[in-house]
Structure 1
């Protein structure tokens, strides 16, 4: 068979590049969940409109999903309906990502404001303190909410967020802002067709995925059609390319021990963040206080790697956790 006649194999860095923008086949469960009706709304936080989706009855226990960096709320759309029978579920677009507004300046305090604003607007607190589930950057935002006002939460699940070891004096420093550096303006790239950016989509950090229908969906939902000021028409990614520039993410040294709500941690067994001393330190800190789960055969974006295992893991966790002692 000539080389150009051989079927192209998925690229480990760009998993759907070989499809050239065509939609791959998808299983029935996926089609059913993404077509499940949701409530779509916005809430204003610090001058920015924050978009969120909600499923399930008001009055059920609240559950908020928080996406990672350069992602969007629709990362959770294939999974939220699995929890909507027993929970009032919501997923938001953090400012600078998805369909939410961009800001001139971002801060972790503003992102935490956005979480609590959506909790209130979507009525996730109608039945008491809700649970937050945050992946990667969303896990950092979740921990910041726990650190600032954990007493308002029924629990927090951190999914594959790198933390490292805390400094004895400064605590956990995830990202340190350079106060002397002024971020340079960053212009979003414009693509002439929707197929080009879809084919170029990749995870950060890179990882393989055999669930090509999920990868394709994330890419499509992360793009918007636009016309620039100079009249050029095309497609661009929804996230603000300047977000994360000159940004502080720090936590107190006793973050885990002093948390005012139950914590749980889920990591992919094959994630680059499940290796090394930092994870051992985190496991030691969580021992006796928090469930610590390693998902087999899963990389960093574990819900896109092992979707049904992710749902089962989270459902099982919720069946026996959180356990709150005291008021």
Structure 2
């Protein structure tokens, strides 16, 4: 039985705590965080899954998730722009953010997370088919989800998923870069004596500057937790205990093109992981019918570089699909 419970390990006004008096923040961001939302856990397979929800239950459904080692609040200032027209759920993947680890962390298990959370929150009720919006690693998991359950989702918007020609991806990895999700599952997370010390260690992957530094501070704040006299990362080391192989990433372009249902791609115009050549590669693989939108001046972390342009790109895709429904 799935049982919803309010978040009980976070202050209700945690975003306000981070923001202080808000005088340094733009009005659009303050307004987005003021849009009414539900924050709670739902229990799935004996583990708590953390989610945020906006909008009205009778509206079309959006199911949103984040990249590797990130959390749902990557979309906490994006999702509110869809609250008027949609029932929007952003959730933390298992072992990341404020969701507990459950089961395995392999490719198949990650795909099942989308149907599990959708079922737990009744997103399939009355014949609804949620549209998935996912960033980076979450997009790869979402591709698995729509392949596993091709008839229950309305579409998938892939946001800056790492897709390169295999030979270019191997060159990218050879430059001292690890494949996504590499890490030691048996090594405990490091503890730091203060939040400031931990914040200094927070970096993006791939490393990049951001156009909106206050958003990076926001994401970093929600990536850490206080434990007694120290601070440490929220994610569980168990997320590194994965069975996926590098060839899954080498074949990501084919996986995307062959995945069932409607698909669209939004990527940073300056992304290191999805370039104009990536778009050409998708076309060569047979993905001519997949809309591909580049967000100018954005890198991999679109929501931190050009959040409002990112919103506009997502709105365009959803409007196109609504027109062609």
Query: Which TM-score applies when normalising by structure 2?
Result: 0.80
What is the CA deviation profile of residues 92-125 of structure 1, one whole-angstrom value per residue up to 9, with x for unaligned ones? 0101101111247412222222211221233333
- 2:195 counterpart of 1:194: yes
Question: Which residue does 1:308 correspond to in 2?
Answer: 308
Unaligned runs of 5+ in 2: 1-21, 168-177
- 2:235 counterpart of 1:234: no
Which of the pair has more CA radius of gyration? 1
The offset of 1:200, in angstroms, is 3.1
For residues 177 and 310 of structure 1, what CA distance do their matches in structure 2 show? 25
For residues 300 and 55 of structure 2, what CA distance do their matches in structure 1 show? 28
Question: Which residue does 1:261 correspond to in 2?
Answer: 261
What is the root-mean-square deviation in Å for CA atoms of aligned residues? Answer: 3.0
Give the match's secondary structure for 2:134.
Answer: strand
The offset of 1:186, in angstroms, is 1.0
Structure 1 stretch displaced more, 270-279 or 244-253: 244-253
Structure 1 stretch displaced more, 292-301 or 35-44: 35-44
Structure 1 stretches of at least 4 aligned residues deviating more than 4 Å after TM superposition: 174-178, 251-254, 276-279, 322-325
What is the CA deviation profile of residues 233-289 of structure 1, one whole-angstrom value per residue up to 9, with x for unaligned ones? 211110123423443163798534543310001111110113485543224335432
Q: Give 1:80-159 correspondences, 5 Å limit.
A: 80-103=79-102, 105-126=104-125, 128-159=128-159
What is the CA deviation profile of residues 65-87 of structure 1, one whole-angstrom value per residue up to 9, with x for unaligned ones? 11000100111101111001000
For residues 196 and 222 of structure 2, what CA distance do their matches in structure 1 show? 13
The offset of 1:132, in angstroms, is 0.2
For residues 201 and 24 of structure 1, what CA distance do their matches in structure 2 show? 24
Structure with bigger helix share is: 2
Question: Which residue does 2:42 correspond to in 1?
Answer: 43
TM-aligned CA distance change 1:62 to 1:192, over 3 Å:
same
TM-aligned CA distance change 1:56 to 1:276, over 3 Å:
closer
Contact 2:163 2:274 in 1 (8 A): no
Higher relative contact order (CA 8 A, sep 6+): 1
Question: Which residue does 2:320 correspond to in 1?
Answer: 320
TM-aligned CA distance change 1:152 to 1:247, over 3 Å:
same
Query: Which TM-score applies when normalising by structure 1?
Result: 0.79
For residues 86 and 26 of structure 1, what CA distance do their matches in structure 2 show? 26
Give the match's secondary structure for 1:51.
Answer: strand
Contact 2:164 2:273 in 1 (8 A): no
Q: Give 1:198-213 correspondences, 5 Å limit.
A: 198-213=199-214
Structure 1 stretch displaced more, 147-156 or 249-258: 249-258
Question: Which residue does 2:226 correspond to in 1?
Answer: 225
Contact 1:175 1:248 in 2 (8 A): no
Contact 1:262 1:322 in 2 (8 A): no
Contact 2:135 2:161 in 1 (8 A): yes
What is the CA deviation profile of residues 136-187 of structure 1, one whole-angstrom value per residue up to 9, with x for unaligned ones? 00110111111111211100001111134479xxxxxx96999xxx966111
